[in-house]
Amino acid sequence: MLDLREYSSLGGALRVALERWPDEICLIEADRERENCRLTYRQFKEKALPLARALQDAGLGAGTRTAIIMTNQSKWLISAYAIFHCGGVLVPLDYKLTPREHLQLLAHSHAEFLIIEYHLWRAVTQEPGFSNLQTKTVVVTEAPANTELRGAKRWEEFRGEREPVFIERKRSDWACIVYSSGTGGRPKGCVMTHENYLEQCRTLASLFSFWPGVRYLSILPTNHAIDFMIGFIGPFVCGATVVHLRTLRPEFIREAFTRYKITYITVVPMILKNLERGLRERFAALPPGRRKMLDRLIAANRALTRGRPRLWLSRLLLRSIHQAFGGNLRAMFVGGAFTEPATLQFLYDLGIPVGNGYGLTEAGTVITVNDFKPFRADTVGKALPGTEVRIVNPGADGVGEVAARGKTIMSHYLDDPEMTAATIVDGWLMTGDLGKMDPSGHLQLLGRKKNMIVTEGGKNVYPEDIENAFDSLNVKEFCVFAANFIWPQRTMTGEQLVLVARVDDAAQTSSELRSQITERNRQLPDFKRISGYFLWTRDFPRTASMKIKRDALAAEVRAETDRSAIILL
């Protein structure tokens, strides 16, 4: 691994990595059973540098903001490196946002360049607000021949002739602007510095080793903070291989494990639960004798790995299970949302340790992680070396708001000093999550203080971001809340959004309102939908500028009703 203390920027470290391991495989891109490409570090460089030169010739220089909107694939990484080589600031946008949201975030970030996949670009150009797009250079990947690209250039042909100039950046310079929320409310563009990433990478690599020959299966989009770190920066500065799979279909993920002899993978809780379900079904289908034998082997593995993982032993005892994962799997990582301890324990008992962590976009990748010494399914692990975690204003039960401080915490929110000041207090990142610390320094998460939910798919959903979907609803006023924000619960699972509808007479409200809400709800992506609504007959409290006082409204509702008021959709 490169000694990251010697580098001042991601571009600088990655540039040396490309020279250090020229003949190692750095990227494999697979789609279903096909392999689209396989590149050594040398070949990666040969693809990235002409792109960097073309970007430079088009005006991309130090600090130029450049967005990438792409699914999980090799061109994402090649493009990102080219941007860093030129000294640019990367704006990784979630490709699953709507075209309207893409346009809003491109405008908010002031991205001057955009690198985007063809099908996503086509959708953006069909959006009514497209004519207002200020981005001056757009480069589109995988566009069919003879297609009108509305002024964009083709990635495959966008190549400069001469060697690009490497632009070095300081540690305190911006590396990325990463959005932790959508657009309907107040976009949260987390400004991350090169120092944030270099320190995060150094710390994580000290806990989980990567080296040439390690193969990391990347199935999460690289705009996701975890995949950006563990599926790009981390493997590259260690000379390891990233295997991109352009589908999330379980049958192809299974196949990729064995075909590519995967060492590590990162998943979201939803995938982990699906994996658990599939394994349990397979175990249940075994003949009684074999099932009994398997149960005994699992019990033996559990007893022998209580103190720490013993991979060789688990692979010996539970050979067929480990073979199904390719035989080389050392650990899985899970993040993006809360994971059920039972799922983590189930996999650990099979000899598959899952690095369960806790993080926020605002904190880079993670602030705590399970270090397996010993494995604890009931917590999200200990603070990473170099990161301090404390509980602010704990109650008698020790539960309070989790705060974190360290070199991995973002610089600020883009163009929002007010929100920055409310979130970073005296150098501490106030997470808005509730938790408590046990005597051994393990953090347990127990709910949220903030008005938002996180889905099992790892999506953060802020109520303000979906409210415009319910505009023109035939009510006096309305507001969307995370149900747990109104009625706090000590849980991080099963979070739901609810809509409060202000009506004149709750008794007379017709089924028409229900169908109006249902119809609008269905326009939203599945993970952003509300679960139900309830009726409210008093005016919403508002500020002088007529904004709804959400905290006050939640308190009023809490004082008068409970969850039984929710009309489920």
No. of helices (H) and no. of strands (E), the chain = 18, 28
Give min distance, CB of 247 to another protein, in A: 5
Nearer to another protein, 332 or 402 (CB): 332
At 459, list the tokens. Answer: 């999506």
- The residue count for binding another protein (CB under 8 A) is 20
Q: Give bridge partners of residue 91 from the DSSP assignment.
A: 67
Which is closer to another protein, CB of 267 or CB of 409?
Answer: 267
With contacts defined by CB under 8 A, name the span among 266-274, 300-308, 361-369, 414-422 that binds another protein: 266-274
Cβ-based nearer residue to another protein, 249 or 490: 249
Question: In this complex, which beta carbon is closest to another protein, that of residue 251 or of residue 562?
Answer: 251
User: In terms of CB distance, is 10 or 497 closer to another protein?
Assistant: 497
Of the pair 427, 525, the CB lying nearest another protein is at 525
Count Cβ atoms within 10 A of the Cβ of residue 462 and give its class: 0-12 exposed, 13-18 middle, 19 or more buried: buried
Give the number of other CB atoms < 10 A from CB of residue 309.
18
DSSP result, 286-315 = S-HHHHHHHHHHHHHHHHHTSSS--HHHHH
Q: Is 251 exposed, middle or buried (0-12, 13-18, 19+ CB in 10 A)?
A: exposed
The CB-of-360 to another protein minimum distance in angstroms stands at 23
C-beta closer to another protein: residue 278 or 398: 278
Q: Choose between 274 and 411: whose C-beta lies nearer to another protein.
A: 274
Integer distance in angstroms from the first to the last C-alpha of the chain? 52
390: left (phi over 0), alpha (psi -120 to 50) or beta: beta
- Binding another protein (rule: CB under 8 A), the pick from 78, 271, 367, 424 is 271
> Is 270 an interacting residue with respect to another protein (CB under 8 A)?
yes
Measured from the CB of residue 271, what is the shortest distance to another protein in angstroms? 6
Asked if 274 touches another protein (CB under 8 A), the answer is yes
497-536 binders of another protein (CB under 8 A): 522, 525-527
Q: In 3-state terms, what secondary structure has residue 438?
A: coil
State the minimum distance, in angstroms, from the CB of residue 95 to another protein.
Answer: 8
- Name the DSSP class of 548: B
DSSP state at residue 133: -
Burial class (CB in 10 A: 0-12, 13-18, 19+), 155: buried
Smallest distance from the beta carbon of 277 to another protein, in angstroms? 9
- Separation between Cα atoms, residue 401 and residue 198, nearest integer Å: 27
- Could you say whether residue 457 binds another protein (CB under 8 A)? yes
Smallest distance, Å, CB 273 to another protein? 8
If one asks whether residue 119 binds another protein (CB under 8 A), the answer comes out as: yes
Give the whole-angstrom CA distance, residue 544 versus residue 546. Answer: 5
Question: Where do we find the tokens 């360290």?
Answer: 406
For another protein, the closer CB: 43 or 258: 258
**Computed from CA positions of residues 89, 94, 99, 104, in that sequence, does the dihedral angle turn out positive or negative?**
negative
Q: Which two tokens stand for residue 425?
A: 């207090």
In whole angstroms, give the CA distance from residue 168 to residue 11: 7
Residue choice 56, 64, 66, 71 for contact with another protein (CB under 8 A): 71
Shortest CB 518 distance to another protein, Å: 9
Enumerate residues 90-109 that contact another protein by CB under 8 A.
95-96, 98
Site residues for another protein, window 221-250 (CB under 8 A)?
A: 246-250
Q: Smallest gap, in angstroms, from Cβ of residue 453 to another protein?
A: 15
Binding site for another protein (CB under 8 A): 71, 95-96, 98, 119, 246-251, 270-271, 274, 456-457, 522, 525-527
